Amino acid sequence: MSQKPDADVLIIGAGPVGLVAALDLSARGVSVIVVEQREFLEPPNVKCNHVASRTMESFRRLGIAAEVREAGLPADYPQDVAFRTALTGVELARIPIPASGERYTSRAGPDTSWRTPEPPHRINQTFLEPILARHAAQAPGVTLLNRTLFHTLRQDAEGVTVVVSDLDGENERELRGRYLIGADGGRSNVRKQIGAKLSGDPVLQHVQSTCIRSAELYDRMTAAEPRAWGYYTFNARRLGHVYAIDGRETFLVHTYLTSEEAEHGSVDRDAAIRAILGVDDDFEYEVVSKEDWIARRLLADRFRDGRVFIAGDASHLWVPFAGFGMNAGIADVLNLTWLVGAHLGGWAEEGILDAYEAERRPITEQVSHFAMNHQRKLAKPALPVELEDPTPEGEEARAAFGAAVRTLNEPQFAAAGLNYGYVYDASPIIAYDGEQAPGYSMGEYTPSTVPGCRAPHFPLEDGSSLYDRLSAGYTLVARRGTDAAALAAEAEARGIPFRIVEVDATALPPEYRMPLTLVRQDQQVVWRGQAVDADRAAELWELLRGARSRHPSERASHDGKGPITRR
């Protein structure tokens, strides 16, 4: 007799990735146990200062976007990025980004014209994580086990059993679930136990991070310039970044070390901070916390072993530019929880789970290279010798250098490509039609309905967002008057959550070239075409729900008219 599971899914780790996984599974009626070493609501380290637009879109679906947007910096605090000779020095350039209170209305800034119902939001993880934790604690079917250590796992054909204990090693016991998600960070015990290996570039740069508190720091800054969320400082003494945490007195200071400094441990933390801030020895500040870390580019060779999956930092580590480490981890786990929810919901075969690694691993590898390449461009900027000179030559040098650093950095702070441009181009559960998806960069992308792309957003005729109408399974964006009866009937026969959103041809964006475009809840296009008969509709749904097994290297191709083929 099989052992009854304590929950459908066990999650190891209650950082943002693990908590979002719990919230999404709960919304799908899946029971969850989350194992976490820290106390409930124990503050995390001061890190990750950005929630990307794509993540905010998911928070909107989970019903927490408004609460997240109200947290962090004050509603009228600009979320700009400023480039200066020092925090209290001369401003070189600025990327304007609206305050949270103006996010839905302002058009001043490089990310304010994006096609999305939810723009990005700058918020430190110390404010974000408690929101997620409180909602997870109240979510139906979710049990949080704080102050609990995960030790080992073993799996069989029906589930996964883990051994856990209290923090002191006492009260050792077993928990059992049908599946397990390792969201336990860069030192992941789950990753080690399934034998997944990290490889890539183990050392790109050494960084000293220090959270400081000073009520007078803003008074030392140039009053003529508005405040900013992020500051990049450039001078001959020290390169660094400073992020406003609460908009009043708390700041996170990143000091970037040379390889020689890292090797010899020769950097005086206090002196480096003062050089970045541009203050003398009389200036007083309080050290709240400090964490030294290494910028890396590492990717696990696999994201799954049987019933065990890894996500977030457990599966990839890279330079955390613009917070895309956390945001990519959340994208990982929401992909996974949609697949797991589909299978546990009874309408998808277990083969649907093969899509997780096939879809997410290539994307995280691409993003890791974007981050690494950007880091290399920033690592050794050629500083003009006149940069801080109070002369016409210095002014000219500052203008030229400021323009250059803004051009270099704008793509990471207005990263439309990383938000919307990635494509699942080798998925076992997407019906491709032979058209090549557009390429993308960190900052740019081309909206497209090529299968595997993000369905381009547009407001519906009643003013609501297309994304607000997506069902828990699939949604058909249909040109009004197009016959979708066979698709609807075959979906109903299989119990697949399905909805039709009819739109007048004149109201559809030009990217929706086909009369029918089928979209998953995670906004990815999975098929497009003309009206199909019952046989072709049945074949399509069997592919999409993971019932057709094939080698992962094979791609399903469909022209919207004839049978689905492999290629």
Q: What is the tens place of the pLDDT at every residue in 322-334?
A: 567 899 999 999 9
For residue 554, pLDDT beyond 60: no
Q: What angle do CA 229, 235, 238 make, to 5 degrees?
A: 85
pLDDT digits (tens, 9 = 90+) for 386-410: 999 999 999 999 999 999 999 999 9
Q: What is the pLDDT of residue 219?
A: 92
Of 457-461, 492-496, 553-557, least confident by mean pLDDT is 553-557
Judge whether residue 114 has pLDDT over 70. Answer: yes
User: What is the C-alpha separation between 531 and 516, in angstroms, rounded?
Assistant: 7
Domain borders along the chain are: 7-71+121-199+297-371, 423-566
- C-alpha torsion sign, points 22, 24, 25, 28: positive
Tell me the two tokens of residue 167: 């923090």
Contacts (Cβ under 8 Å, ≥6 apart) of 538? 490
Contact 121, 56 (CB under 8 A): yes
Q: What does CATH list as the number for 7-71+121-199+297-371? A: 3.50.50.60
162: pLDDT strictly greater than 90: yes
Report the alpha-carbon distance of residue 274 to residue 237 in Å, rounded: 10
The whole-angstrom separation of Cα 256 and Cα 187 is 23
Predicted local distance difference test score (pLDDT) of residue 548: 77
Model confidence over 207-222: pLDDT tens digits? 999 999 999 999 999 7
The pLDDT assigned to 371 comes to: 83
Q: What is the DSSP string of 33-45?
A: EEE-SSPTT----
The pLDDT of residue 178 is 98
pLDDT, tens only, 529-549: 999 999 999 999 999 999 975
Instruction: Tell me the average pLDDT across 515-531.
Output: 97
pLDDT at residue 241, rounded to an integer: 94
Confidence of residue 2 (pLDDT cuts 50, 70, 90): low
User: Is 423-566 the same fold as 7-71+121-199+297-371?
Assistant: no
Residue-wise pLDDT tens digits, 11-49: 999 999 999 999 999 999 999 999 999 999 998 888 888
- Tokens matching residue 560: 């919207």
Side-chain-side CA neighbours of 504 within 13 Å: the count stands at: 6
In the predicted model, is pLDDT for residue 377 greater than 90? Answer: no
Helical (H) or strand (E) element with 130: helix 125-138
pLDDT at 555: 46
Whole-angstrom CA distances from 500 to 474, 477, 503, 516 are 9, 6, 10, 10
Q: For residues 556 and 543, is the Cβ–Cβ distance under 8 A? A: yes
**109-120 in b/e burial notation, b at 16+ Cβ within 10 A?**
bbbbebbbbbbb
pLDDT, position 552: 42
Higher pLDDT residue, 203 or 352?
Answer: 352
Fold of 423-566: Glutaredoxin (3.40.30)
For the cut 80, the answer to whether the pLDDT of residue 550 exceeds it is: no
Average pLDDT, the chain: 93
Residue type (1 letter), 354: D
Percent of the chain with pLDDT over 90: 84
Instruction: Say yes or no to pLDDT of 499 above 90.
Output: yes
Q: What is the pLDDT of residue 563?
A: 42
pLDDT band at 230 (very low <50, low <70, confident <90, very high): very high
Cα separation, 465 vs 65, whole angstroms: 14
Pairing of strands 198-213, 173-182: unpaired
